[in-house]
Amino acid sequence: MSLKVLFVASEAHPLVKTGGLADVAGALPRALARLGADVRLLLPAYRGVTARVPDLREVGPLELAAAPPARLLRGRMPRSRARVYLLDIPELYDRPGGPYTGPDGGDWPDNAWRFAALGRAAAALALGKADPRWRPDLVHAHDWQAGLAPALLSLERERPATVFTVHNLAYQGVFPWETFRDLALPWELWSMERLEYYGQFAFIKGGLACADWLTTVSPTYAREIQTPEHGFGLDGLLRHRAERLVGILNGIDHEEWSPGRDPHLAARFTRRTLGRRARNKAAVQARFGLPAHAGAPLLGHIGRLVEQKGADLILGALDGLLAHGAQLVVLGSGAPHLEQAVREAAARYPGRVGVHVGYDEPLAHLIEGGVDMFLMPSRFEPCGLNQMYSLRYGAVPVVRRTGGLADTVVDADEAALATGRATGFVFEAPEPAALLEACRRAIACYRDRPADWRRIVLAGMAQDFSWRASARRYLELYRRALDGRSRAAPGGV
């Protein structure tokens, strides 16, 4: 009998995506299914999602406390055999805007209700109360939006094992006591050992305090979140649970991200046909209104424009970068002041800086396939997927040594260059000067030592970050969670 796993997440590619969580929730179930697991995903039926799910049918009505009437639907993930359950509550999910924010960019005021319903539906499914034909052995919940599932299940005797993955500790789902009361959550959950958090309550604590096992998305981040610097107030709890915390690096989805068969590129290429890559560079320059200088180092950045990602560090280093003759393209959306700042940079340096404020997946692929260097100066980065896409697409990453960036990019120092291990350029301080210095090293190599540059590009493209190895580690953890609930973590962090 295959292992039955219920994934609970608030976004999943290709149905709904704001960031890397969707990439993981879309790809990891497929990788686990290939290893023989029966994985099903539970997702809110946001506007437009139902129309994108093939073979959709109603499982039945669901009664959830503190939520309007709900229905559970079941269908398939597009282009896959994996099953998906949609939690259909039109009053909560069928509206314009994003999964977390309204059209004006602000959080939905009823997010606590929207994601409490998700946690409750997950618990119902987990206990065999929602789909009479399927009951999971294990529930794998992701980020705060799914945090109530392990919390509610922790109150049950007969329940599946629970695993909670932290994709980003900065987002915690903190709400006032009155909300806890109005949600009619069980009183046992109002304690410091469970959801209570300095007089308020935090959905993420439902996962961190109540799940049988915790994971996060890179080994380095698993260590970092146990320190005050990266713990966002939760490092004490995480140190307390250190034996149950494992760092498993994310994979990337080779079906979506392979330069040899990517429909979004101007020219597809492999390690053997690297010369064709120049056509993508020209296409990126054209898209962003930059002159088609084949020899100018073309730098790129893609990401949510938020403090975490350090776009402000790029802007702080901009004058220096341009003085080295570089061109820069930025694709992103997020905080209004950062959107404004990147727009201003483009206006100030026409023909040298190109900016697209918005969310554009095909363009993200073209950028990865065309830029010479990909900048990721994140202040913290639980895993980061873009640097792995960059490695695979021959865009040499320039990254800060933090979280998953530290675990995936090998700095091109003399020793690493000599042994052929170098895949990028790494710096330490979260400051424009440190980023600029790393870019200066990269640009010097690109210009003056083309043979070294080529080795770095080819070494990056040869890395294997496919999901297979990570999915095996999750399976191993699931088995531990199921059979020896008291044993220590495989390998620890």
**List of residues contacting ligand ADP (CB under 6 A):** 19-21, 23, 302-304, 331-333, 359-361, 364, 383-386
Which of 276, 169, 257, 275 has the alpha carbon at shortest distance from 464? Answer: 257
- Minimum CB distance to ligand GLC smaller for 269 or for 389: 389
Q: Which residue is nearest to ligand GLC (CB)?
A: 20
Mask for 341-380, x = binds ligand GLC (CB under 6 A): ----------------------------------------
The window from 57-65, 132-140, 287-295, 383-391 that contacts ligand GLC (CB under 6 A) reads 383-391
Return the one option of ligand GLC, ligand ADP, none that residue 154 interacts with (CB less than 5 to 8 A, by type).
Answer: none
- Among ligand GLC, ligand ADP, none, what binds residue 459 when CB lies within 5 to 8 Å by partner kind? none
* Residue in 111, 162, 168, 387 binding ligand GLC, rule: CB under 6 A: 168
d(CA 474, CA 142): 13
Comparing CB distances to ligand ADP, the nearer of 125 and 396 is 396
Stretch that binds ligand GLC, among 256-264, 266-274, 322-330, 382-390 (CB under 6 A): 382-390
The residue (of 175 and 221) whose beta carbon lies closer to ligand GLC is 221
Q: What gap in Å lies between CA 234 and CA 227, rounded to an integer? A: 9
Total residues contacting ligand GLC by CB under 6 A comes to 14
Task: Rank residues 206 and 251 by Cβ distance to ligand GLC and give the closer one.
Answer: 251
Report how far residue 191's alpha carbon sits from residue 201's, in angstroms, rounded to the nearest whole number: 9
Residue number, 163 or 364, with CB nearest to ligand ADP: 364
| Residue 20 within binding range of ligand GLC, rule CB under 6 A | yes
297 or 303: CB nearest ligand GLC: 303
Nearer to ligand GLC, 244 or 309 (CB): 309
Report d(CA 148, CA 166) in Å as an integer: 14
3-class SS string, 309-364 = HCHHHHHHCHHHHHHCCCEEEEEEEECHHHHHHHHHHHHHCCCCEEEEECCCHHHH
Q: Looking only at residues 392 through 421 of this chain, which bind ligand GLC when binding is defined by CB under 6 A?
A: 404
**Minimum CB distance to ligand ADP, residue 375 (Å):** 13
Q: Under the criterion CB under 6 A, does residue 230 sit at the interface with ligand GLC?
A: no
* C-beta of 41 vs 284, nearer to ligand GLC: 41
Q: Please state, in angstroms and rounded to a whole number, the distance separating the CA atoms of residues 121 and 130.
A: 8
Indicate left, alpha or beta for 468 from its phi (over 0: left) and psi (-120 to 50: alpha): alpha
Binding partner selected for residue 217 from ligand GLC, ligand ADP, none, CB under the kind-specific 5 to 8 Å limit: ligand GLC
359 binds, among ligand GLC, ligand ADP, none (CB under 5 to 8 A by kind): ligand ADP
Report the length, in residues, of the chain. 493
| Residue 381 binds ligand GLC, judged by CB under 6 A | yes
Q: Are 41 and 53 in contact (CB under 8 A)?
A: no
Pull the structure tokens for residue 272.
């053997």
Name residue 214's amino acid.
L
In the range 42-61, which residues lie near ligand GLC by CB under 6 A? none
Residue 224 lies near ligand GLC (rule: CB under 6 A): no
- Looking only at residues 239 through 268 of this chain, which bind ligand GLC when binding is defined by CB under 6 A? 250
Which position's Cβ is nearest ligand ADP? 20
Q: Provide the token pair at 324.
A: 């080295």
Cα–Cα distance measured from residue 477 to residue 376, given in angstroms and rounded to the nearest whole number: 30
**Does 215 engage in binding with ligand GLC (CB under 6 A)?**
no
Asked if 237 touches ligand GLC (CB under 6 A), the answer is no
Q: Which of 24, 41, 118, 211 binds ligand GLC (CB under 6 A)?
A: 24
Binding site for ligand GLC (CB under 6 A): 19-21, 24, 167-168, 217, 250, 381-385, 404
